[in-house]
Amino acid sequence: MSFGVIKAYMLKEFKELIRSKMIAIVYILPTMIIILFGYGIRMEVTHARTLIVDNDLSKISQDLAQHFQNSKYFDTRIETGVSLQEALQSVKRAKTDILIVIPDGLEKGLIHKERPEVAVFIDGAFPVRASTMENYVKGVIFNAALSIIKESPENLITISSRNLFNQAMRDEDAIVPGLIGLVLLVAPAILSALLIVKEKEEGTIFNFYSSPVSRGEFILAKIIPVFMLHSVNILILFLWATWLFEVPFRGSFFLYWISSELYILSSIGIGLLVSVITRAQIVAIVLTIIITIIPGFLYSGMLMPISSMSGESKIEAHIYPVMYYNHIIYDTFLIGQGLDSPKSRLYLLILALYALFTLFIGSRLIKKEKN
Amino acid sequence: MKIFISLVAKEIIAFFRSWGLVAIVLYSFTLDIYIAGAGIEMQAKNISVGYVDETGGGMSEKILSRLHMPEFQKPRLFMSREDLSRSIYNRETMVGIIFDSDFEKNLKRYKRAQIDVLLDSISATQSFQALQYLQNIVLEYSQIDYPVELKIHKLFNPNATTSQFMAMAEMLSVITLLGVILTAAVFVREKENGTWEIMLLTPVDPKLIILAKTFSQVLIVMGGVVIATGIVLFGAFDVPINGSLAAFFLLSFFYAFTSAGIGLFVAAVSKSLLQVAQLSILIMMPLIFLSGAWTPIHAMHPLLQDLSLLSPLRYYIEGSESIFFRGTAFDDLWSYFAGVILLGSVLYFYGFRKIGRLF
């Protein structure tokens, strides 16, 4: 293995990346993904457009409406004398999210203990938002009801909850670190697969077959540029997360950095494996996207916690490196245990082995193409 | 007309000959949509619960017995608070419940007691919902006499199934992506294979060639839409159809032309299929993002809300939602049709001009 050969070959790769403007993709795509998804995935609900139809106009019904108006979760409009049909039409046209109908005779019914009925209609088109809104409404009405019950209820159990790691339950804190795990899985894999498949498709791979460049030199020259270019992304993504999305960073930067480098290596290894079985660049791209984006979203612990998984998805999650990486990443951003936790140490080791294993298998298999 | 038909037929035959493309299209319209629908579940389910019980049983066990599937896994007993908190810090347990040693005593003596709950709130949505579940369970257990009756109706999607919605949104994204890529690919493949010059030499009006090429890809996409709606949406997810199916296909047809228009533009500026793929992804992501597929538009930043008016996918998604879930009548759909057709003709015309210059 000669260092001069690797250097020359790498120089060629860099020049080609710059000439074909691929270099822009290397830096634009990760940033674009983290910004679009970071802003795009909003599960928390604030300012739900609420229409209260008050048919009672009593002190109690106005009190109840007041409860909604005082909450930042609702943008409340109060109307009277609107028929249910008209009000529902407003939900149907997607102008209103929540419709609350206070019946005529709420106060009277309450006095006579007749349990008057308050009807609530919620736009269910976005299911997660719908259940959140349902719970908000339940909470507000429950609190309003408690304040008018004269005698204190029997056996009242309350819950005092402490939100660990993400006190304000911000979506950014929940999503953005996971997006780093997604980006650094997809982007290096695509780039490393392309660098090799491009030579196959254009036929220039025969230069390598016929030249005295050894397989190790060839692979190193392909891997190192990808590794170096994406190492910069580790820092860029970190800055977006902490500066733009204001995600707190509680762990050690060194751990973040070293695990990201190992993770990039595993991703490059996956790219190598793809390049072994494909001949056309377009197929390489699509195949890499299919095998990386799905685990990056579904089995990464970003949208669904690993502890809530069962059966196949749990097994699936353990196959890809993203679960191990994301555990460490969420730890460095939000928890801050670092290497004190045996689980993080184990996962870091697994990442290192993963990188070694995929790179080794990938480079072994490339040899066979020579015949 | 005869020339037009034979040009369309030529492209469709060419499509079926490249098995890789056929495989990708089939995968996208079936399995990909299925995985998105079945896999992406954001409602909290199967939550891992741990507890520490310092009371010696009784009341606490009765409360715990109300935590069950599908919302909660079987609660796991921890011997000390430290063990519980370690498990939460390692993210093996999401909800930790602590029954204080005074819990039962307080409840008997003062009729009031408190449960401490530790929540791993990294997954904000799930932990919020988990807390709500717990709150409801405890309330039920307290048997408070609620002075009012609360009747909650969820409109349009009463069971709040994420899968139907996700599957539909994914299908619409796939239509967009493939509409762009397939159209761009038919042109760029000619460039790559060197048959572009042959195409220029054929004694056919270039406008007809462009029209025939886009029309053939629109047909392929429409074929995919039929497969996806029939097999995946209706077959696998039982998506309701409250409006008119014909209206949906008509809207899809116009929309396919819109994305073909973007494809023409991509084809005009790229030299290889690789560039097509890169450009399409760069153009598609903001388009999908601004469409309201993931976040309702009124929940976005005001600036993004204005920008989203320019995304044809927005009208397509809102229109399709209205057709499938809300059951809006055909007459009331005109705004969605207008949005798609208007933006579509602008995009298509622009792409047409752009690629037309190469002839």
Q: Which of A54, A88, A52 is nearest to A70 (CA)?
A: A52
pLDDT-based confidence at residue A371 (cuts at 50, 70, 90): very low
Give pairs for A200-208: CB < 8 Å, separation 24+: A200/A275, A200/A279, A200/A369, A201/A279, A201/A280, A201/A281, A205/A369
Q: Read off the pLDDT of residues A31-65 as tens digits, 9 standing for 90 and up.
A: 988 888 888 777 777 788 888 888 888 888 888 88
Closest residue, chain B, to A142 (C-alpha): B146
Q: What is the pLDDT of residues B50-81, one digit of tens each?
A: 999 888 777 888 888 888 888 888 888 898 88
pLDDT at A149: 67
Q: Are residues A52 and A32 in the same domain?
A: no
Look at residue A157 and tell me if it is in a domain. Answer: no
B81: closest CA of chain A, how far (Å) = 14
Give the model confidence (pLDDT) of B146-167 as tens digits: 667 777 777 776 665 677 878 8
| A41 contacts on B by Cβ (under 8 Å) | 294-295
Give the start-to-end residue ranges of the domains of chain B: 2-40+161-356, 49-142
Q: Cβ B142–A157 below 8 Å, yes or no? A: yes
A137 and A186: one domain?
no
CA angle A93, A94, A99 (to 5 degrees): 100
Backbone angles phi, psi at A254, to 5 degrees: -60, -45
Q: How many helices and strands (H and E) does chain B possess?
A: 15, 5
- Chain B neighbors of A314, CB-CB under 8 A: none
Specify whether the CB–CB gap between B127 and B121 falls below 8 A.
yes
How far are the Cα atoms of A38, A179, A299, A352, B211 from residue A234, in angstroms, in the given order?
A: 16, 12, 21, 17, 45
Domain match, A25 and A82 both: no
- ω into A30 cis (within 30 of 0): no
DSSP code at position A284: H
Residue A165 placed within a domain: no
In chain B, which residues have their Cβ closer than 8 Å to the Cβ of A122? 152-155
The CA distance from B276 to A83, in Å, is: 54
Claim to verify: residue A98 and residue A230 sit in the same structural domain: no
Of A115, A125, A194, the CB nearest to B325: A125
Please give the Cα distance from B302 to B304 (Å, whole number): 5
CATH code where residue A138 lies: 3.40.1710.10
Residues A29, B273: C-beta atoms closer than 8 Å: no
Average pLDDT, stretch B23-42? 83
A164 lies in a domain? no
| CB–CB contact A157 B153 (8 Å) | no
> Residues A112, A257: one domain?
no
**CA-to-CA distance for B257 and B183, rounded, in angstroms?**
10
8 Å CB contact between B232 and B167:
yes
Cα B299 to Cα A170, B294, B296, B304, B319, distances in angstroms? 15, 11, 6, 10, 18
Size of interface A-B (CB pairs under 8 A): 289
Which residues on A lie below 8 Å from B44 (Cβ)? 308
Sequence-ordered list of residues with C-beta below 8 angstroms from that of B158, at least 6 positions apart, any chain:
A124
Q: Which domain holds residue A339?
A: 3-41+170-370
Nearest CA-CA partner of A29 in A244, A213, A185, A202? A185
Q: Quick one: A74 and A192 in the same domain?
A: no
Residues B102-149: tens digit of each pLDDT? 888 887 888 778 888 999 888 888 888 888 888 888 877 776 666 677
Q: Which two tokens stand for residue B215?
A: 């029309």
Claim to verify: residue A93 and residue A113 sit in the same structural domain: yes
Joined tokens for residue B359: 């002839």
| Better-predicted residue by pLDDT, A257 or A115 | A257
Under an 8 A CB cutoff, do B148 and A116 touch?
Answer: yes
Which residues from chain B sit within 8 angstroms of residue A160, using beta carbons? 114-117
CATH number of this structure's domain B49-142: 3.40.1710.10
Count structural domains, chain A: 2
- How far is the C-alpha of B301 from the C-alpha of A40, rounded, in Å? 10
